[in-house]
Amino acid sequence: MAKSLVGPLTAVLVAVVWYWSIDTRITYGDASQVRSLIEEAFLTSWEDYEAYGWGFDEYKPLTRTHKNMGHQGAPLGWIIVDSLDTMMMMYNSSGSSRLLKGILQAQTWIDNELSYDLDSEVNLFETTIRMLGGLLSAHHWSSQLKVGNEQLFLDKAIDLADRLSLAFLQTESGIPYSSVNLHTGEAVKNHVDGGASSTAEFTTLQLEFKYLSFLTGNETYWQLSEQVYKPLYALNGLMGPQWDGLVPIYTYPDSGQFRGNNIRFGSRGDSFYEYLLKQYLLTHEKLYYDLYRTSIEGMKKHLLGISKPNGLVYIGEKTFGLRSQLDPKMDHLVCFMGGLLAMGATEGLPIHKARKREFWDTTRESDWKLAQDFTYTCYQMYAQIPTSLAPEIVVFNGEEAVDNSNWISKNGDFYVKPADRHNLQRPETVESLMFLYHLTGEKKYRQWGWEIFQGFQQHSLKHRIRGAGKIYTSLRDCIHTPTEPLDNLESFWLAETLKYLHLLFQDDIDLTKIVFNTEAHAFPVLDTRSLRGMGLKTGWSP
């Protein structure tokens, strides 16, 4: 009998400790106090990692186990480098001594322990967005705050980029293989999918490499990362009616031809579209806005759906090409699109100012409305779940959930399959809330973000019954309570989710001066005159 009470008793203890750990008088309107809570959530995860997983790339907070990703246990800095600019951003807001300690400790480790001369295959995309992006953003923040060694971060970024750059030189098309050995420079094909590379992966390197060209004056980084577009567009007729600017999620790197017809804005497709717009926002290259425009019109034409019974707008998938039936499945990953559409419409200006600019037209007004409607949909993916936390994937139109194993949302707009009920503390919805709040000033976006953060506080925050301390962890099932933890710490919880939540509750964020890479690492918008003087410009046309 005693054994059967362990689970319920644990759930009660966790709920009681959570209740007393949160001041119930705090509301979403208390921005400074909410920022403090978000900062504390970051430090809770960071200081637990510091105590029990320091220096390792992967960390399991429940069991306090860890490992590195490099050959023979060498570290890549996966958690430390990815988290560093979040600490800098939060420190800029609060001046916390605990954050300053974390910044300096991370810097010391990067200086003394981190070497990228590793005889290891690494994923080109993940290493670029997390490690190269993290180092470059740390360089930017340290130069602004005068905290940290900005030259150290830049030197490490150059060393890493030089090693990653070799991946672009080993195919006739210029499209890189999926992985590269950081010591030998040998590029390695994807081990599955017929050797095809993920289309989103090789088109989500350009912000980092172009920013590095600007910092160093070395145009090679710019040219290598940009060369992937010409074969992709020219060989496949991407601008034509066969594709309408929408890309299948796999491409053969040797030929540049697409593999299959699977089109989606979720995994392996998402950041292709993101980096078209963000290159324009970072470097003012109009070609990339024009390409983005074509893709967004294609999305509106082929991928938009409306849920029943409440009319939520979603972005579905075309598994077998544009002429196939729309699949109403949507990854949480797609929820970045609310913020992207809003930034594409306003270019970072508050909406009341953007509407007065010469560029404003009915197309941008359409994008703006869709941005708001779609962000509301993504909020509902939390609000209609008992824990207020979204699952990894939902399928819209709940009346189709004929399988009794599928869980139907509270208002019947979507259902969740058993395999998709996990919550990895992903950032995409709070990312869009952050953009929409700063572009509109509407308090509802802070309210929605506060509700989501409270969901993390109640269900992701776990207190050790045996042993001291509390941790945040992913969830195996975010629908049924008490929630079952999934023993892992995703670096994007620290690099993105908590960063975007904190930014949501900051004031005076100027989105015309900063661009976030797909891992939420911040780069300053680059000066057009300086780019021109350095000879850095678009080097191809479709």
Residue-wise pLDDT tens digits, 493-537: 999 999 999 999 999 999 999 999 999 999 999 999 999 999 999
Nearest to 377 by CA among 296, 314, 309, 305: 314
Reported as a single tens digit per residue, the pLDDT across 68-92 is: 998 778 999 999 999 999 999 999 9
> How much is the pLDDT for 470?
87
pLDDT of residue 225 exceeding 70: yes
Within 8 A by CB and 6+ apart from 235, the residues are: 255, 256, 257
Residue with the larger pLDDT of the pair 246 and 23: 246
The Cα–Cα gap between 387 and 385 comes to: 6
Q: Pairing state of beta strands 484-486 and 514-516?
A: unpaired
Which of 235-239, 407-411, 450-454 holds the top average pLDDT? Answer: 450-454
8 A C-beta contact, residue 456 and residue 468? no
The Cα–Cα gap between 290 and 539 comes to: 15
Which residues sit opposite 470 in a β-bridge? 463
9: confidence class by pLDDT, cuts 50, 70, 90: very low
Reported as a single tens digit per residue, the pLDDT across 274-286 is: 999 999 999 999 9
pLDDT of residue 165 exceeding 50: yes
Average pLDDT over residues 117-146: 96
400: confidence class by pLDDT, cuts 50, 70, 90: low
pLDDT of residue 365 exceeding 90: yes
Average pLDDT over residues 305-323: 96
Give the start-end residues of each E strand in 204-306.
250-251, 304-306
Amino acid, res. 500: Y
Average pLDDT over residues 206-228: 98
Average pLDDT over residues 459-479: 83
pLDDT of residue 176 exceeding 60: yes
Active site residues: 126, 270, 392, 428
- Domains of the chain, residue spans: 41-534
> How much is the pLDDT for 402?
62
Residue with the larger pLDDT of the pair 491 and 21: 491
Consecutive H or E run containing 157? helix 150-165
> How much is the pLDDT for 469?
76
- Other CB atoms closer than 10 Å to residue 532's CB: what's the count? 11
**Mean pLDDT for all residues in the chain:** 93
Which of 26-35, 62-71, 217-226 holds the top average pLDDT? Answer: 217-226
pLDDT of residue 122 exceeding 80: yes
Portion of the chain with pLDDT greater than 70, in percent:
94
Query: Does 440 appear as a known binding residue?
Result: no
Nearest to 379 by CA among 434, 318, 439: 434
Domain 41-534 is found in CATH 1.50.10.10: yes
Amino acid, res. 290: D
Average pLDDT over residues 435-461: 97
The Cα–Cα gap between 436 and 445 comes to: 7
Q: Phi, psi (5° rounding) for residue 337? A: -70, -25
> How much is the pLDDT for 20?
40
pLDDT of residue 152 exceeding 50: yes
pLDDT of residue 13 exceeding 50: no
pLDDT of residue 98 exceeding 80: yes
Query: What's the DSSP call for residue 248?
Result: B
Sign of the dihedral defined by the CA atoms of residues 495, 500, 506, 512, in that order = positive
> How much is the pLDDT for 1?
33
pLDDT of residue 191 exceeding 70: yes
Amino acid, res. 336: F
Average pLDDT over residues 381-385: 98
The Cα–Cα gap between 274 and 329 comes to: 20
The Cα–Cα gap between 132 and 518 comes to: 12
pLDDT of residue 403 exceeding 90: no
Distances (CA, A) of 165 to 183, 233, 314: 12, 22, 37
pLDDT of residue 347 exceeding 80: yes
Average pLDDT over residues 367-379: 98
> How much is the pLDDT for 354?
98
